[in-house]
């Protein structure tokens, strides 16, 4: 017992003991599933039987029109959410940190509450709000404005209004808090110096706030890219299933679910997942290079 105690208190062993839980969780919950998914993407799996089929799943994906639709929908959704979920939360964060804003803590809580709501409940609420019936909230608004009711979820552009509003309602507060934390890290003396030099609010935001908050912006973009490409449950709940009119709500993860769970084609679903991982990795690497994150510092 004394030997074990001496071993754990050793300066050479203790660091490995503290790191061990992280290493185990990384191996069990990330490395093992990743390697298994890669292997399974080259196999045909049915009722426990595995047959190596080489790259046939990937060849089939290249000619799969439903997969192409899912990829286009996911990339389009990701791009639109980036256009909405980066500038709007950033502006709200700047307003939140303004001296003119009162009861900041209350507003932060109000903005964050939607993120605590289950996506299942959120999706059901938005499905009812955007129902094609005359009694739905959005159609009531249309009638009040003198327009005819709309079948919101049956055409792409109106359905995507609902999908993007759902995304904004749930995640604007979260991204805003990320930016608030970045703004708090900026030394106030910088803004005081800018005031002395006669800089106005627009100049301070453009030349001070944006460059200094760059690390936070890169982080928010990175997680938003992944979140946009991996979106599934919002679409699933909005259309009350994985089938939307003309596949306007079909995403990559939705197609993975359709092939892997609904059709029990796990090998093909794993190939879909591997392509999703490559797309997400490629987009994030490009944006990290473009923003100078991988730029080597001069010595």
Q: What is the pLDDT of residues 239-287, one digit of tens each?
A: 988 888 999 999 999 999 999 988 888 999 999 999 999 999 999 889 8
115 in a structural domain:
yes
Measure the CA–CA gap between 17 and 42, rounded to whole angstroms: 37
Q: For residue 283, give Cα distances in angstroms to 64, 79, 145, 287.
A: 22, 11, 41, 6
In the prediction, which pLDDT does 299 show? Answer: 44
Check residue 6 and give its pLDDT.
Answer: 67
Q: How many domains does the chain have?
A: 2
Contact 114, 169 (CB under 8 A): yes
Do 24 and 60 reside in the same domain of the chain? Answer: no
35 and 63 together in one domain: no
Q: Is residue 279 part of a domain?
A: yes
Question: Which residue range forms the structural domain that includes residue 27?
Answer: 1-40
Same domain (yes/no): 7, 91 = no
Residue 212 is assigned to a structural domain of this protein: yes
**What is the value of pTM for the model shown?**
0.87
Q: Which of 58, 2, 74, 93 is nearest to 270 (CA)?
A: 58
Position 1 confidence tier, pLDDT thresholds 50, 70, 90: low
> Is pLDDT at 45 greater than 50 in this prediction?
yes
209 against 101, higher pLDDT? 209
In a domain, 47, yes or no: no
């Amino acid at each position: 017992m004394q030997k074990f105690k001496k071993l754990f208190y050793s300066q050479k062993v203790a660091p490995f003991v503290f790191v061990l839980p992280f290493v185990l969780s990384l191996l069990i919950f990330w490395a093992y599933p990743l390697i298994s998914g890669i292997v399974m993407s080259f196999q045909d799996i049915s009722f426990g039987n595995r047959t190596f089929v080489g790259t046939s799943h990937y060849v089939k994906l290249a000619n799969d029109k439903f997969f192409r639709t899912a990829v286009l929908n996911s990339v389009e959704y990701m791009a639109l959410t980036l256009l909405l979920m980066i500038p709007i939360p950033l502006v709200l964060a700047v307003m939140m940190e303004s001296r003119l804003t009162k009861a900041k803590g209350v507003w932060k809580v109000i903005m964050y509450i939607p993120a605590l709501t289950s996506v299942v409940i959120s999706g059901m609420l938005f499905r009812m709000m955007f129902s094609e019936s005359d009694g739905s909230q959005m159609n009531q608004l249309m009638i009040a404005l003198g327009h005819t009711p709309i079948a919101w979820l049956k055409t792409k552009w109106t359905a995507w209004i609902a999908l993007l509003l759902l995304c904004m309602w749930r995640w604007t507060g979260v991204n805003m808090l990320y930016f608030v934390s970045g703004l708090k890290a900026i030394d106030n003396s910088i803004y005081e110096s800018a005031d002395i030099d006669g800089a106005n609010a627009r100049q301070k935001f453009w030349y001070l706030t944006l460059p200094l908050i760059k690390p936070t912006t890169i982080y928010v973009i990175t997680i938003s890219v992944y979140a946009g490409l991996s979106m599934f449950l919002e679409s699933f709940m909005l259309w009350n299933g994985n089938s939307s009119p003309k596949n306007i709500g079909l995403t990559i993860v939705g197609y993975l679910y359709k092939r892997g769970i609904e059709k029990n084609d796990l090998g093909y679903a794993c190939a879909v997942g591997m392509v999703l991982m490559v797309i997400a990795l490629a987009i994030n690497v490009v944006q990290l290079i473009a923003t100078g994150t991988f730029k080597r510092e001069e010595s």
